A and B are shown apart, each in its own frame.
Chain A
Amino acid sequence: MTPRDRIRYFFSSHRTGLSVCLLALFLLVYPAWVGNPYLLGISNLIAVYLIAVIGLNLFIGYAGQISLGHAAYLGLGAYGSALLTVHLGINPWLAMAATAVAVGLTAFLVAIPTLRLSGHYLAMATLGFNIVCYTVMMQWDRVTGGPSGLAGIPHLSLAGVAIDDETRFHYLAWGAAILVLTLGLNLARSSLGLALAAVAQNETAAASLGIQVHRAKIRIFVLSAVLASVAGSLFAHCYTFINPDSFTIFNSVELVTMVVIGGLGSIWGSLFGASLIILLPEFLHFFETFRDIIHGLIVVTVLILLPQGLVSGLKDLLRMRLLRKANNARN
């Protein structure tokens, strides 16, 4: 092996790890480069959503299921963290962890009956759960503050330094997002990721190969709910104020839109999807008014033209074209 081959081999066998490192490096210098708190605020929001979107993409894109209620887990995470810190004065980190565990358990209990469903029925069941959670947040105003929300949520702090400005939160949120991205990429490339994809494409065949279909779905659903919960907690501690309007079924649809744009079963695509949906309103101001309509249009258009989602769909098209070309060259 010549040194050149060796370098090429190193790059090809570590391309995923190197891409993650490159992204991390970019994000490390990003605050010094832009320095504008408003722009950092936007990229921070992308990081928070990315954590939830990666979890949801594992559930929708890899395992082939549907959830129209993931904003509920985002909300449970945010309210869990907020209530524990505001009412009980618990340390924010501890509150975040306790909430994640509780949300994981809740998701597990919800998953056992609902993941027996599929397709439209699953969509309706998850949607229903979201509406239940939203109603509780709205109506139980003595605890949750009702429609006016909860204020005065403490910032997270690390080694005595409060994470209270955009730059500090940038490092926290993107640190967490990179970690989740890495875990997601790992899972997707593992045998379990393969098993999830198998479940999505043919449950009968998957079961006959030794894959525990129901268990695989539950595990990935719980993981995605825990990630959503963590994202929700970060959201609460970043803005120090939350209200139920951030956790409606339309927010769930927004999360699904991010997954679909990024591409079903593409972890990197999730980064693209979350970025695009959060950045769009910044460029198109009318977007804010027609938000839900535009989201709907995007999802329908993408799903009709590229059922695998934008990024994955284009990737598949390219791959097929290359294969065909290679095949023609051979003949």
Chain B
Amino acid sequence: MLEIDGISKHFGGLPALEEVSFRCREGMTTALIGPNGAGKSTLINCIAGTLNPDAGAIRFTGRRIDDLPCHRRPYLGIARTFQNLALFPRLTVLENVLAGLTPEAEQSFVKSLLRLPATRHRERLLRLKAMAMLDNFGLADKARWPASVLSYGDKKRVEMARALVAGPRLLLLDEPVAGLNGAETARIAMEIRRLHGVGLTILLVEHDMDLVMTVSDHVVVLDGGRLIAAGAPQEIRTNPRVIEAYLGRMSVTA
């Protein structure tokens, strides 16, 4: 489904990613883990198009996407969430989710200015779709609230709803449970498992090892911009290089 082939990215002279290659298979949840500064977010940004890699290729369903501008990628079915919330704070919760339906929305400037009945009808359908998605996340009663007043946990879920509303084929989750409490984390974990159940391909960046171990089929480990291990969660748990580079260091900082 998603093929990362020798991706490198440098910031100034500093390498953030060096020759990273792996695959996300269709319908699988792939977890991307690694200590802080390992290049996980850089990699997700390269896949989503927020950053352009310096070298290497990214293929999605066999098609090269690394030279595609960021705004084209949602049309292919790639959606993402952000590590540090990237909601539109002054828009309502419903409008935030509606923004996730941009690929299906009216693009014509003239039609938008005229607001013909067909356009209004289309907007009403999108609104219903967004409401249904909010309902899935238990946020329907807050649809008219400005996003800025929501609790942190609710904001995280609005981001998930916004990413999922257009029905993507690949979901990039950048630390979906960072900063959440146990109950909220369990709720997100359940949602990820549900998405996995309906066959969505997921790439998950996460520090929460319990979450990674319970939801993922395949784990990829980065350290210092290099891929150091890849395999099933159980193999990764016992891989000495991973323990040295990641789990060991985490137990010191935790």
Chain A interfacial positions (CB closer than 8 Å to B): 183, 186-187, 189-195, 197-198, 201-202, 204-213, 219, 223, 308, 316, 319-320, 323
Contacts and interface: CB of A to CB of B under 8 A. Distances in A.
A223 B88 CA distance: 24
Contact of A191 (B75, B89, B112): B112
B80 A191 contact: no
Contacts of B71: 207-213
B102 A209 contact: yes
B113 to A, nearest CB: 5
Nearest to B141: A330
B112 A204 contact: no
Interface string B81-117: 0100011111100010011111101110100111100
Nearest to B159: A205
Interface residues of B, number: 40
A195 B86 contact: no
B5 interface: no
Interface in B59-80: 69-75, 80
Contact of B105 (A191, A207, A320): A191
Kindly list the 5 A-B residue pairs having the minimum CB-CB distance in the complex, ordered from nearest. A191-B105, A210-B74, A190-B112, A205-B86, A186-B115
B217 interface: no
Nearest to B126: A191
A198 B115 contact: no
B232 interface: no
B102 A211 contact: yes
A213 B69 CA distance: 11
Given A191-B106, A195-B102, A210-B102, A201 B95 contact: no
B186 interface: no
Contact of B114 (A186, A210, A223): A186
A308 B95 CA distance: 18
B99 A192 contact: no
Given A191-B126, A194-B99, A319-B146, 11 more contacts: A190-B115, A192-B107, A192-B109, A193-B112, A195-B105, A197-B90, A202-B88, A208-B74, A210-B73, A211-B71, A212-B69
A187 B123 CA distance: 12
Contacts of A209: 71, 74, 99-100, 102, 162
B60 to A, nearest CB: 15
B192 to A, nearest CB: 19
A308 to B, nearest CB: 8
Contact of B88 (A186, A192, A198, A323): A198
B115 A189 contact: yes
Max count, chain B CB within 10 A of own CB: residue among A189, A195, A319: A195
Contacts of B180: none
A191 B100 CA distance: 11
Nearest to A188: B112
Nearest to A324: B149
B112 A194 contact: no
A197 B88 CA distance: 8
B102 to A, nearest CB: 4
A205 B89 contact: no
A263 to B, nearest CB: 12
B99 A198 contact: yes
A186 B113 contact: yes
Contacts of B53: none
A219 B49 contact: no
A193 B107 CA distance: 10
21 contacts: A189-B115, A190-B115, A190-B119, A191-B98, A191-B101, A192-B105, A195-B99, A195-B102, A197-B95, A198-B91, A206-B88, A207-B49, A207-B71, A208-B71, A209-B71, A209-B74, A209-B100, A209-B162, A211-B99, A223-B109, A316-B90
B48 A205 contact: no
Max count, chain B CB within 10 A of own CB: residue among A193, A211, A219, A316: A211
B93 to A, nearest CB: 12
B95 A194 contact: yes
Contacts of A204: 50, 82, 86
Given A192-B109, A207-B50, A210-B102, A201 B123 contact: no
A194 B87 CA distance: 13
B113 A187 contact: yes
Given A192-B112, A198-B99, A320 B149 contact: yes
A12 to B, nearest CB: 14
Given A194-B91, A201-B90, A208 B50 contact: yes
Max count, chain B CB within 10 A of own CB: residue among A206, A207, A316: A207
A270 B101 CA distance: 29
B122 to A, nearest CB: 8
Nearest to B172: A208
A187 B111 CA distance: 9
Contacts of B99: 194-195, 198, 206, 209, 211
B9 to A, nearest CB: 16
Nearest to A319: B146
B22 interface: no
B162 to A, nearest CB: 7
B152 interface: no
A29 to B, nearest CB: 27
A207 B75 CA distance: 12
Nearest to A330: B141
Contacts of B115: 186, 189-190
